[in-house]
Amino acid sequence: MFRQDKMRLDFPKFFERSEKKLKPKADFPKFFERSEKKLNEKGQMVFMDFFLVATIFIVLFIFIASDYSQKTTDLLNDAKLERMKLKAITASDFLASSKGYPAAWEKDLNVMVLGLASEPNELDSNKVMQFISMNYGKARDALGLSEFNYFFQLNDAGDKNIVSSGTIPLGETSVVSVERIVIYKGGMAKIVLKAWG
């Protein structure tokens, strides 16, 4: 059977317990102090995180910028070296296989393109002597090497120097050297053309 006395609720005690739960505690302001302290610590952490990320970003940016600058400089130097090679090869080809322009430039020294050949790969000794005695700047322009320096050598078959012209590249790091085998005064000879700048 069901007992009614167990079912009976004691209303005053029930409300008393509820009030205890709802009553604010005495340390309520301490809770806010702790929360405020935690917020300040979090704010400091956010600032420190931001500072760390900003520092890493700046260091990374400086590293990338310097690397980019170095690669750009290397690329420009390589392009200049390739242009110098191309011009030196072209100039040595004209010297060894062309009469020059005008063809009889050695008579009046009004040369636009230097060529030392009487026939392809056979040098004319008059043109060689006129070229050796030419003004350096004028010869450099006629060779197509106006933005570079040059040194020309004509060596015999034993690699002994016959004649030379230009400026010797002492201590230069980027020197292009082009060689051509030719006939000079009936014998084998070698043109060596060096460019740098």
> How far is residue 189's CA from residue 180's CA, in Å, rounded to a whole number?
8
pLDDT at 1: 47
Q: What pLDDT does residue 65 have?
A: 82
Pairing of strands 187-196, 149-156: antiparallel
Distance, CA of 81 to CA of 96 (rounded, Å)? 22
Mean pLDDT, all residues of the chain: 81
Question: Can you give the pLDDT at residue 131?
Answer: 93
Residues in the chain, pLDDT under 50:
1
Q: How far is CA 54 from CA 50, 58, 186, in A?
A: 6, 6, 75
Are residues 129 and 177 in contact, defined by beta-carbon separation less than 8 angstroms?
Answer: no
Residue the block writes with tokens 């929360």? 35
Written as six digits, the tokens of 103 are 């063809």
Note the pLDDT tens digit of each residue in 7-44.
555 555 555 555 555 555 555 555 555 555 555 555 56
**Residue 89 structure tokens:** 């090869």
Q: Give the pLDDT of residue 171.
A: 83
Residue 102: cis peptide before it, omega within 30 degrees of 0: yes
Number of Cβ within a 10 Å radius of residue 93:
14
CB 135 within 8 A of CB 159: no
Hey, what amino acid is at 95? L
- Given this model, what pLDDT does residue 164 score? 94
State the Cα–Cα distance between residues 83 and 77, nearest whole angstrom.
10
> According to the model, what pLDDT value does residue 193 have?
95
